[in-house]
Structure 1
Amino acid sequence: MAGPWTLSLLCGLLAATLAEATLSPAAVLSLGPEVIKEQLTQKLEDRNATIILEQLPLLNAMQEKPAEGFPPLSRLMNSILKSIIWLKVTSASILQLQVQPSTYYQEIMVKIPLNMVAGLNTPLVKTIVEFHMESEAQALVRVERNNSGPSRLVLSKCSSSGSSLRIHLLHRLSFLVNTLAKKVMNLLVPALPQMVKTELCPVIEAAFDDMYADLLKLVKVPIPLSPGGLQFDPLTLTIEESVIQLNLEAKVLDSKGKVTSRFNSLETALMVPTPSNAAFSLLLRQDVVNAMVAALLPSEKLVILLDYVLPEVARELKSSLEKISKQIADKLDNTQMVKMVVQEVPYLHLTPGSTKAAQQIIMDIFATNRDLHPLFTLGIEANSEVQFYSEGDRLMLNFNDISFDRIQLMNSDIGIFSPELLKDVIRKILHAELLPNQNSKLRTGIPLSIVSALRYEAAHWSSAQDTLMLTPDSNSF
Structure 2
Amino acid sequence: MIPRDHPRPGLTQELEKHNATVILQQLPLLSTMQNQPAGLLGSLVNSVMSYIVWLKVTSANIRQLQVYPSEDYQELMVTIPLDMVAGFNTPLIKTIVQMHMETEAQAVIQVQASKGTPTRLIVSDCSSSHRSLRISLLNKLSFLVNPLAKKVTDLLMPALPDMVREELCPVIEAAFDDMYADLLRLVTAPVALNPGSLQFDLLSPAIDGDVIQFNLVASLVNSEGKVSKWFNGSAGFLTVPTLDSIPVRLIVKYDLVNAAVASLLPPEEFLVLLDYVLPKLARQLKSSISAFNAKAASQLEATQMVKIRTQKSPEILLSQDEARVAQVIQLEVFATEKAHHPLFTLGIEAFSEALFYNSGDRFVLSFKGISSDRIHLMNSGIQLFNPELLKDVVTDILAAVLLPTQNGKLRPGLTMSMMKALGFPEVVWSLTKNALVVTPVSW
Q: TM-score normalized by structure 1?
A: 0.84
Paired residue secondary structure (2:119): strand
Counterpart of 1:65, as a letter, is Q
8 Å contact from structure 1 (residues 362, 380) kept in 2: yes
Matched positions, count: 433
Tell whether the 8 Å contact from 1:389 to 1:396 is kept in structure 2 after alignment.
yes
* RCO higher in structure (CA 8 A, sep ≥6): 1
Q: Does 1:351 align with 2:326?
A: no
- Structure showing the higher helix proportion among its residues: 1
Structure 2 counterpart SS, 1:149: coil
- Structure 1 unaligned spans of 5+: 1-36
Corresponding position: 1:183 with 2:117: no
The answer (yes or no) to whether the contact 2:18–2:171 under 8 Å persists in 1 is yes
Which residue number corresponds to residue 462 of structure 1? 430
Where do residues 120-131 of structure 1 align in structure 2 (5 Å cutoff)?
Answer: 120-131=88-99
Match of 2:337, SS state, is coil
Q: What are the Cα deviations for residues 290-336 of structure 1, in whole angstroms up to 9, with x where unaligned?
A: 11110111222112121222121111111112213333223223222
2:19 is matched with 48
Deviates more, 1:394-403 or 1:111-120: 394-403
Provide the residue aligned with 1:78 in structure 2.
49
Return 5+ residue gaps in structure 2 as ranges.
1-7
Deviation at 1:139, TM superposition (A): 0.7
**Match of residue 375, structure 1, among 312, 322, 343:** 343
Letter in structure 2 aligned against 1:53: L
The verdict on how the C-alpha distance between 1:405 and 1:75 changes in structure 2, with shifts beyond 3 A counting, is closer
1:243-301 superposed Cα distances (whole Å, 9 cap, x missing partner) = 222222222222233222212268xxx99999999953222222222111101112221
Find the residue that maps to 2:145 and give its secondary structure. helix
Contact preservation (8 Å) 2:350, 2:374: yes
Comparing 183-192 with 131-140, greater Cα deviation is found at: 183-192
Are the aligned partners of 1:152 and 1:237 in contact in 2 as well (CA < 8 Å)?
yes
Distance across 2 between alignment mates of 1:73 and 1:385: 79
Q: Distance in 2 between matches of 1:276 and 1:192?
A: 31
Mapped partners of 1:124, 1:244: distance in 2: 53
Corresponding letter in the other structure for 1:460? V
Q: For the residues of structure 2 that align with 1:123 and 1:243, how far apart are their CA atoms?
A: 53
The equivalent of 1:447 in structure 2 is 415
Structure 2 CA distance for aligned equivalents of residues 62 and 408 of structure 1? 90
CA separation of 1:171 and 1:333: change in aligned 2, threshold 3 A: same
| Inter-CA distance 152–287: structure 2 relative to 1 (3 Å threshold) | same
Summarize the Cα distance change of 1:257–1:103 in structure 2 as closer, same or farther, 3 Å threshold. Answer: same
Shift of 1:102: 1.3
Matched residue, 2:393: 425
Q: Is the alpha carbon distance of 1:315 and 1:163 closer, same or farther for their aligned partners in structure 2, counting shifts above 3 Å?
A: same
Q: Specify the code of the residue in structure 2 equivalent to 1:131.
A: M
Taking the aligned partners of 2:340 and 2:42, their CA distance within structure 1 comes to: 114
How many Å separate the matches in 2 of 1:274 and 1:217?
Answer: 15
Question: What is the distance in 2 between the residues matched to 1:72 and 1:435?
Answer: 88
Q: What letter is aligned with 1:345?
A: S
**Which letter maps to 1:386?**
A
AA in 2 matched with 1:62: M
Q: Which of 159, 168, 184 is residue 216 of structure 1 equivalent to?
A: 184
1:286/1:192 Cα in 2 relative to 1: closer, same or farther (>3 Å)? same
Please give the per-residue CA displacement for 1:327-375, whole angstroms capped at 9, x wherever unaligned: 3223223222211111101112211111221111111212222323222
Q: Report deviation, 1:414.
A: 1.8
> Distance in 1 between the 2:355 and 2:240 partners?
20
Q: Normalising by structure 2, report the TM-score.
A: 0.90
1:198 paired residue number: 166
* Distance in 2, Cα, partners of 1:301 & 1:72: 94
CA distance in 2, matches of 1:221, 1:274: 16
Q: Alignment partner of 1:103: what SS?
A: coil
| Aligned partner of 1:312 among 269, 272, 280 | 280
Q: SS of 2:391's equivalent?
A: helix
The alpha carbon displacement at 1:221 in A equals 2.2
Asked whether 1:88 is paired with 2:59, we answer no
Cα pair 1:112 1:138 within 8 Å, conserved:
yes
* Structure 1 residues 375 and 463, CA gap change in structure 2 (3 angstroms): same
> 2:191 touches 2:416 (CA, 8 Å); kept in 1?
yes
Instruction: Tell me what 1:153 maps to.
Output: 121
Tell me if structure 2 keeps the 8 A contact 1:357–1:383. yes
